[in-house]
Amino acid sequence: MRSAAAFLVLLLCLYWTRAQGENGGVTENDVTQQGRAETFRGAVAQITQTDVQSEILGVKTTSDQTNITPDIWAELKELRDMMIQHKVELRNSKSKIEKLEQENTGECINVSHTALHTFMQCLYIIEMTVLNLLVRVTACENKSTVLEARMSSNEFQVEELKRENAVLEARLNTAENVVEELKRENTVLEARMTSNENEVEELKGENAAIQARLTASENKNAVLEARMTSNENEVEELKGENAERPKVAFSVGLTDAGEVGPFNTEITLKFSKVFTNIGQAYSPTTGVFIAPVRGAYYFRFNGFETRDTNSVGIRLYHNGKQMTYSFDTVVNNGYVNVSNGFVLQLEKGDMIYLVLCAGCSVHDSTYNRTTFSGFLLFAM
């Protein structure tokens, strides 16, 4: 577009020079117009020296033109269309001038001078418009430069962000792999946890059963302890009672001399060999047992004889009352043995003793064949 404008200006200048040559002189107005033309030529020369000439002429936009705003490009297109229109008008004017020169050579100088004056005025207006547009284009170029710098900076930032995103993506992939591994580990741990929970539940059930058994055992133990305490108390009471109760027991043998009897009258047998005499209730001197307390007593005696045809007869007395009579006779050079036993309820001071019947005898030796025993069963 700038080349077209420059071409148009040069064309106008040629017409103006030609008109001045034909006119034969230069007026004051022509001098002014000539100064303006010189100014415009300098502007055109400056325009032709810029680096963006090809960018404005091209119909197709490059990647750098994408940074100019749509409004400026629209104005540039309008300017191009307007310059093309003026170019066409100038061609038409040139054709008309040449035609007029051919038709009327005498009037050519005046007409050309007037037309050129009018045309120079239009050219001045066009010059101002072009200069204004050049200023705006320069501003747009500066703005494009700034935008290019910003675009380069943004592209660098984009590249940097891409590299950062690549690093972050790699880290993210690593983190995802770690997360997957942790998920697998969590799955295994959850399975183990579930197994452990089941075992814990089973152990809880077993512990509950054991606790129940333990509680039952404790209850039984408590009952047993109570019974044991009761038994211990009873034992202590019995111990106390036994400690307070008299202890009576005796066991005696008749003699080591051998034969005793027969006698013409009954005699009280005096057992001189004392084996046991707890409580000293039996008297070997008198042969009489005297009950120290009221109670139940057990008594037993035994008589032995070896002489042929001799008889053994023993009576048990309670306070002078015969309780039993045991009798037997030796025959055929043999031996006899008589015995008996009683449980008697005695009062304190009651007497128990044995009597050998008249005409009867007994035998005793270190073998202790003839004996007398008794003991207190319980006090009453």
Assigned domain for 254 exists: yes
Q: Is the dihedral of CA 62, 65, 71, 76 positive or negative?
A: negative
The total number of residues shown for the chain amounts to 380
Q: Is the pTM of this model over 0.75?
A: no
Question: Which pLDDT does position 353 carry in this prediction?
Answer: 95
Dump the DSSP string for 259-286.
EE---SS-EE----EEEEEETS-EETTT
Dist CA 264 CA 15 (whole Å): 212
Residue that finishes a domain, picked among 139, 166, 193: 166
Within this chain, do residues 24 and 155 fall inside the same structural domain, yes or no?
Answer: yes
Task: Render pLDDT for 109-157 as a digit per residue (tens, 0 to 9).
Answer: 555 567 667 777 777 787 787 788 778 878 888 888 899 899 999 999 9
- Listed in sequence order, the residues at least 6 apart from 362 whose beta carbon sits closer than 8 Å to its beta carbon are 254, 259, 260, 261, 269, 303, 304, 305, 312, 314, 356, 370
Question: Which pLDDT does position 345 carry in this prediction?
Answer: 93
Within this chain, do residues 161 and 303 fall inside the same structural domain, yes or no?
Answer: no
Question: Which pLDDT does position 107 carry in this prediction?
Answer: 55
Question: Which pLDDT does position 130 carry in this prediction?
Answer: 72
Within this chain, do residues 160 and 263 fall inside the same structural domain, yes or no?
Answer: no
Within this chain, do residues 108 and 15 fall inside the same structural domain, yes or no?
Answer: yes
Neighbouring C-beta atoms of residue 234, cutoff 10 Å? 11
Residue that finishes a domain, picked among 138, 166, 194: 166
Within this chain, do residues 160 and 296 fall inside the same structural domain, yes or no?
Answer: no
Torsion of CA 213, 219, 220, 223, to 10 degrees: 180
Q: How many domains does the chain have?
A: 2
- Listed in sequence order, the residues at least 6 apart from 120 whose beta carbon sits closer than 8 Å to its beta carbon are 12, 16, 33, 36, 37
Residue 9's Cβ-count burial label (10 Å; 0-12, 13-18, 19+) is buried
Question: What angle (nearest 5°) sits at the alpha carbon of residue 337, between those of residues 333 and 343?
Answer: 170
Residue that finishes a domain, picked among 166, 188, 207: 166
Assigned domain for 95 exists: yes
Assigned domain for 325 exists: yes
Paired tokens of 25: 């002189």
Within this chain, do residues 147 and 279 fall inside the same structural domain, yes or no?
Answer: no
Question: What angle (nearest 5°) sits at the alpha carbon of residue 325, between those of residues 324 and 330?
Answer: 150
Assigned domain for 29 exists: yes
Dist CA 124 CA 133 (whole Å): 14
Residue with tokens 């077209």, as numbered in its chain: 4
Within this chain, do residues 158 and 256 fall inside the same structural domain, yes or no?
Answer: no
Residue segments in the chain with a per-residue pLDDT below the cut of 70: 1-72, 101, 104-113, 115-116, 242-243
Neighbouring C-beta atoms of residue 17, cutoff 10 Å? 13
DSSP state of 357: P
Assigned domain for 290 exists: yes
Secondary structure of residue 255 in the 3-state scheme: coil
Of 39, 33, 6, 7, the closest CA to residue 20 belongs to 33
Secondary structure of residue 106 in the 3-state scheme: coil
Provide the residue range defining the domain that includes 350. Answer: 249-379
Dist CA 195 CA 189 (whole Å): 10
Dump the DSSP string for 24-62.
TS--HHHHHHHHHHHHHHHHHHHHHTSTTHHHHH-SS--
Paired tokens of 217: 């055992």
Residue 370's Cβ-count burial label (10 Å; 0-12, 13-18, 19+) is buried
Neighbouring C-beta atoms of residue 173, cutoff 10 Å? 10
Question: Which pLDDT does position 126 carry in this prediction?
Answer: 77
